Amino acid sequence: MIKIGIIGGSGYTGGELIRILLQHPATEIDFVYSTTRAEKPLSSAHPDLIGQTDMTFTGDVNFNVDVVFLCLGHGNSTQFLKEHSFSSVTKIIDLSNDFRLQADANFKGNNFIYGLPELNRTQIENAQYIANPGCFATAIQLGLLPLAKATKLSSAVHINAVTGSTGAGVSPSSTSHFSWRNNNVSWYKPFTHQHLGEIKESLTSLQKDASELFFLPNRGNFTRGILATAYTHFDGSLEDAQLLYKTFYSNALFTHVSEDPLNLKQVVNTNQCHIHLHKHEDTLLITSVIDNLLKGASGQAVQNMNLLFGMEEDLGLNLKAVVF
């Protein structure tokens, strides 16, 4: 059994990791570290775990586990790894944005591989350290990578994406608590969202002259999921685009092209990404949907872990969609 450590297990991503790993047939959770909940049961933060586990949070860290997941706030993973050292064989999967960009990927002589399996599968399989992608970044990249691979990103790309309130984290803020979010929609960080950097690096790795991205993120009045739409000039037919996408994702277990329009519920509570293409005159509209906490965070982190240890990529990730 693979021994697992989780640093920062009381938030949304930590909770999702615990739920997945408790059911994973090849893993054993060794510890869940929390500075604020040490000695309290995991169910004190995640009430749905009552009856599922008797584990408690701990203030102690086993630095010899097989793999550790860092579920810390942005900037905190770097600080934690400066202060603590894991064994030379421990694999690290970081869910923050600390190591995603190439300029930040090398830390203490160790190189973090960008953990988007549909792009970097071979590198992930041979890595020890993984920088898990952001949620918006995952949805948008999966929508655009096939065009970059075919060098079709020659015109500006306009992106509009809406995310559920869990994307803002477990601690309520003025724009994430129920009273503000309910029956409400708003945009934020127009054209400057922090995920743009990792998106651009991935696209330019496939097409050096990839066109400019104009990204407008939105806060939705729902709990989880991301629906992203992007449109750009495309010379070919809809059939050409569909063939391009289906070929690119022919070996992807979790990313699929649908000929029918999409909705969030078909992917919420799964590690799936569904993509739909629509052609209007010379413009291609790409829609992608994911669960921001699973394919956009913890599910993809477990997908990466499976690849790191040479296991079946979908092991422990055959999750049921909400649907209704």
Q: Is 75:98 a contact under the CB 8 Å cutoff? A: yes
Q: C-alpha distances in angstroms, 181 versus 166, 176, 222, 320, 324?
A: 11, 6, 8, 26, 22
**Taking CA 283 as the corner, what is the angle to CA 261 and CA 240, rounded to the nearest 5 degrees?**
75
- Give 3-state DSSP helix, strand, coil % of the chain, rounded to 5: 30, 25, 45
The structure tokens 């970059």 sit at: 148
Residue 121, class by beta-carbon neighbours within 10 Å (0-12 exposed, 13-18 middle, 19+ buried)? middle
The answer to whether residues 282 and 294 touch, using CB atoms and an 8 Å cutoff, is no
Task: Give the Cα-Cα-Cα angle 130, 257, 311 (nearest 5 degrees).
Answer: 35
Burial class of 217 by CB neighbour count within 10 A (0 to 12, 13 to 18, 19+): buried
Q: Which candidate in 135, 144, 203, 289 is catalytic?
A: 135
* Nearest in space to 94 (alpha carbons), one of 222, 2, 216, 6: 6
Cα–chain center distance at 75:
17
Residues 6 or more apart in contact with residue 22 via CB below 8 angstroms? 29, 49, 52, 53
135 has catalytic annotation: yes
Annotated catalytic residues are 135
